[in-house]
Amino acid sequence: MKTYKNLPVVLILIACALLGCQPTEKSAAPAPPLDADDARSFVEQANAELEAASEYVARAAWLAANFISVDSQFVEARAVKEYTLLSVNYAAEAARFDQLQLDDDTRRQLQRLKQDLSFPAPADVGLAAELAQIGSELQAIYGTGQYCNTERCYSLEDMVRTLATSRDAALMQELWAGWRTVSPPMRAKYARQVEIANAGARQLGYDNLSVMWRSKYDMDADAFAADVDAQWNKVKPLYEALHCHVRDRLSDYYGEDVVPASGKIPAHLLGNMWAQQWGNVYPLVKPEGAEQSYDLTELIVQSGMSEIDMVKVAEAFFTSVGFEPLPETFWQRSLFTKPRDREVVCHASAWDLDNLDDLRIKMCIEKTAEDFQTVHHELGHNFYQRAYKNQPYLYKASANDGFHEALGDTISLSVTPSYLVQLGLLEEEPPLSEDLGYLMNMALEKIAFLPFGLLVDKWRWQVFNGELAPQNYNRGWWDLREKYQGIAAPVARSEADFDPGAKFHIPGNIPYMRYFLAFIQQFQFHQSVCETAGYQGPLHRCSIYNSKEAGARLEDMMALGASRPWQDAMQALTGQRELDASAILAYFEPLKTWLDEQNRGRQCGW
């Protein structure tokens, strides 16, 4: 007969609930009081068990993504479930040491155990099971969602593609509203999920889930919220200038009856289902006469570079700044191109399967400019993963949840014309007159995203702390979208709708602030490493290729992992201890000057 001896507490509770555990006749002796040695032993055990479990999850996930089948997905789901239960158990147990006087390192690792969870379950088998069930149901509703009219049914991918390429305002409005018919059934489930997770957060020592989420950044929760607002206010004038120009151009194209010359922009006309990035409307808003004289996709094709050659070029970027080459297993085990014999998940991703040296990327590379940049970005993750491999498992992560994405994008920002010249893909750098088009494209992707990146979690913070009651979910969502983005729903919305649920990260319970932080930090990182490299010139033209000094600064920061407050990691790289959006203003300064000229006489704002 199997025993429960080595099962985590949560699994024991589940087993007891199902099979019926009988109490022993003798009552157990009172446990001795906990001390600092107990806490250190607990952290050591947690590191060992979670690291072993995470490797199993990573390998199961790799199989599920690269050999898609019912069986591989079953194994992955089982591995994720067991890791989650183990994490929940350790998080709950970590709270036992809250009142002890401990050294900073032990306290930090205990905090990371508790803060690793997004939606913590209470120590109640029934509630934990209900929370897991709701989470599964929400993701199933999203994943199977579609919209059907009298002519055909559209998947989300179909609708996203249409909004990206169509100029038919009526069709785009129909599909925008059609996708949002999927989410209303999520509403009551989401409210109940928040109620249960708030109880879990309180058991971990937080007032509510809002405080817990905002406490992950090595500063007071309210101070963190104030800081991200301060950074947004720095870039808001640039966003308002971009918004003003884009609205004017869209109004000219569609007519003032569709896009008014003042006020908010209808959300369905910005080339994206969520109006979060606007790059697809570039042809309608681009500066005249600012076309690039070269096409990077054509240069890649003409060079004869293969898909694997593109990865080798990206690796050479990192070795040029002083990093060691990737291990041979990277080249043996990664997925670089779409196989002919099976379906795989082609979405680009970077993997660290054993928390040491088994680094890989998974990507169906195409010989395009976009994938050339993406490869550089993904290898940024791999080199970051290897840099902190000697840290304890609980520190094998970036300094905060924005740093990893920011680091990858920092490398991508160095894919500039000067870099292409050094690679031999270009003969000479194009004139500065071409930069406006490039900067406009970048702004439509990076600057347009910032208010959306901020408001998704602002909405959840209000939900979690009770400021926004379930009966006001949708109104609160649109209040924030109108306030921060200056966009408007193209059709009437009410509390019969649940538009937040139309964004994957809401039913998926994935925190979103990391993306806002990453979009700020990447420019702060880029400015700093360019200064370290001795670069002088427009920031958007800088590449740190071949700068060992810049590489050393990067590696010093990356090696810290999550072992120190993110402010320490920021200081190691930039000399600053705070988030600072001013680098964005320096990067986009030529575009801002141009936008201000274009906007003269226009009624900006909303």
Catalytic residue ranges: 347-348, 377-378, 381, 405, 505, 515
3-state secondary structure of 487: strand
* 178, 154 contact by CB (below 8 A): yes
* 514, 401 contact by CB (below 8 A): yes
3-state secondary structure of 441: helix
Q: How many CB atoms lie within 10 A of CB 332?
A: 8
d(CA 384, CA 55): 18
Sign of the alpha-carbon dihedral angle for 215, 218, 220, 221? negative
The vertex-65 CA angle with 300 and 311, nearest 5°, equals 25
Bridge partners, 359 (sequence order):
352
Give the largest Cα separation in the chain, rounded.
Answer: 87
Count helices and strands in the chain by DSSP H and E runs: 25, 6
b (16+ CB within 10 A) / e for 283-314: ebbbbeebeeeeebeebbeeeebebeebbebb
b (16+ CB within 10 A) / e for 459-489: bbbbbbeeebeeeebbebbbebbbebbbbbb
Q: Looking up tokens 């890791």, which residue turns up?
A: 83
What is the DSSP track for 334-396?
-B-S--SSS----S-EEEESSSSS-EEEE----SSHHHHHHHHHHHHHHHHHHHTTTS-GGG-
Residue 173 tokens, joined: 């409005």
* 148, 154 contact by CB (below 8 A): yes
* 388, 560 contact by CB (below 8 A): yes
